Chain A
Amino acid sequence: MQRRKLADKTATVVLTMFAAIIVIILTALLGYVLSLGIQQVNWDFLTSKSSSFRAGGGIQDQLFNSFYILLWTMIFTIPLGLAGGIYMAEYAKDNRITAFIRICIETLASLPSIVLGMFGLLIFVNATGMGYSILAGALTLTIFNLPIMIRTCENALRAVPLELKEGGLALGYTHWRTITRVLLPSAFPSILTGIILSCGLVFGEAAALLYSAGMTTPKLDFGNLNPFASDSPLNIMRPAETLSVHIWKVNSEGIIPDLRDVADGGAAVLVTVILIFNISARVFGSWLHKKLTAK
């Protein structure tokens, strides 16, 4: 009896310790990045163009590029991921073909992103001839993000209680209507949480973009909203250096005198945005869940 109690107590202490270690690592990391970077960040830093060799450059274009590529990635990923998730959860039969598809998805999910970047370079940039561009970057990131999205949607659909699904079927809904009217609405909070979380992942990705969206940005005129103009920020056929690529580039081959400051500031902004994504995923998800289940 004594020994069992002791074992129980030890387990509690040890597990709490591990949890504490994780929290310490995270706060130390965040604290380090933010404390170094936060003093560099001001409105001017966020809204001025980067400079190639003088000090005092900002990250305006890079920040915009990051969000813009994220937007296009999600435009591609969400429908594909939903379709894939619905197929895997509702239509795929339990057979070898499905097992093979699953292996493909898992392999794709564990591919190093730099390999995906190279794939993007060969296929989207070179083979299709579109060159370094937002489109090539977004397509590469779509491949990067798709396995996660498919799995998120599949798991969310599978987590809907069977009774609900049968409830729909028993009311004379077709399979498709049961999916759209019963399963998807019930799974929506989890799907949305998954989407926002993967936004954070995509936003911070650098390696997959180095050779697909490129490492440069043309001179942008934010007043020009014609998406076909070469100096328009909305043009998806232009190269676009994102924030994380910019940090990497400034750090590794920058020649500006204040490269440390720019990199630190950029990192702080990057981490903050990702934090916002993660926190809002939680808040939004639980808010939706509450709204659907209780008052």
Chain B
Amino acid sequence: MQAVLERELVEQQWTKEQQEVDLCLDVTDLSIFYGPKQAVKNVSMPIKRHSITALIGPSGCGKSTFLRSINRMNDGIKGFKAEGNILYDDVNLLDANIDPVALRKEIGMVFQRPNPFPNSILKNLTLPLKEHGLKSKAKREEYAETYLKQVGLWDEVKDRLHESALSLSGGQQQRLCIARTLAIQPSVLLLDEPASALDPIATAKIEELLLKLKEKYTIVLVTHNLQQAARVADDTAFFYQGEIVEFTDTKTFFQSPKEKRSEDYISGRFG
């Protein structure tokens, strides 16, 4: 009895805290279906502005599906259906009137495998800018430099800007992809296991970069790497079989998880 009361108290405090913080995305009662299969079940998640929120959980738990529905990348999948709300500036992103093309300029995404276009390093940045109507070539190249510097790639590539982006290493390619996403000036960054294909050094660079970027951007990060979540995330959500088992600040999650399943997962007993 005592325990239940205490827990309620904690939960109340939690909700109170929530109301005070500045939310960037407020997901409520989100359910996602692929045909008859429900991939995400009634998930609610307040995502704070200028913070890193990590989504963890075993493969197939729905965390990537959840992430990809924020910028509507699942729209093209056959049988896909989403219910609930993803509020962003009081607008429901799942609304049929939302133009996914415009939305994706606002909410950028970086993928698991680095996916630079088979053009030069410079063009990987300037082409999307051109696409979004930046007419001046000099301006585009200036932007390219700015964002290559921001991801710490400029010094490595400044002498070979016209070489193919595919000649870069995996880690460099991934930072290029992040720069390319930043260049079109989103306010939210969605990252789908951005470092899982990279070696530890490249991974460390990406993590360092994410910590720097959260000053300006709201970051949602899907990761398989628990240490990574512990190192960079402010909040952590543990997904299991389409549900959120636990969502709390990262420190609490890793040091004193409330749920038995979270504890089991962290200590490697399943997943």
Contacts and interface: CB of A to CB of B under 8 A. Distances in A.
Interface of A: 94, 161, 163-164, 166-174, 177, 181-182, 185-186, 291-295
Interface of B: 71, 73, 78, 101-102, 104-105, 108-109, 111-113, 115-119, 127-128, 131-132, 163-164, 166-167, 177, 180-181, 184
A60 to B, nearest CB: 43
Given A172-B101, A292-B118, 13 more contacts: A164-B115, A164-B118, A166-B73, A167-B116, A169-B104, A171-B128, A171-B180, A172-B131, A185-B117, A185-B118, A292-B164, A293-B164, A294-B166
30 contacts: A163-B111, A163-B115, A164-B118, A166-B73, A166-B109, A166-B115, A167-B115, A167-B117, A167-B177, A168-B117, A170-B108, A170-B109, A171-B128, A171-B180, A172-B102, A172-B105, A173-B131, A181-B117, A181-B131, A182-B117, A185-B117, A185-B118, A186-B118, A292-B164, A292-B166, A293-B118, A293-B166, A294-B164, A294-B166, A295-B167
Contacts of B163: 295
A170 B131 contact: no
Nearest to B113: A163
Contacts of A177: 131
A171 B118 contact: no
B117 A164 contact: yes
B104 A171 contact: yes
Nearest to A289: B118
Contacts, number: 72
A282 to B, nearest CB: 20
Q: Which 6 A-B pairs have the closest CB atoms?
A: A172-B105, A163-B115, A167-B115, A170-B109, A172-B104, A292-B118
A186 B167 CA distance: 16
Contacts of B104: 169-172
Contact of B111 (A167, A173, A293, A295): A167
Nearest to B117: A182
B8 to A, nearest CB: 41
A177 B78 CA distance: 22
A291 B164 CA distance: 8
Contacts of A181: 117, 127, 131
Given A172-B131, A295-B164, A295-B167, A166 B111 contact: yes
Nearest to B71: A170
Nearest to B72: A169
Contact of A172 (B113, B116, B127, B184): B184
A295 B163 CA distance: 6
Contacts of B166: 292-294
B242 to A, nearest CB: 22
A164 B78 CA distance: 19
A186 B181 CA distance: 20
A180 to B, nearest CB: 10
Nearest to A177: B131
A122 to B, nearest CB: 42
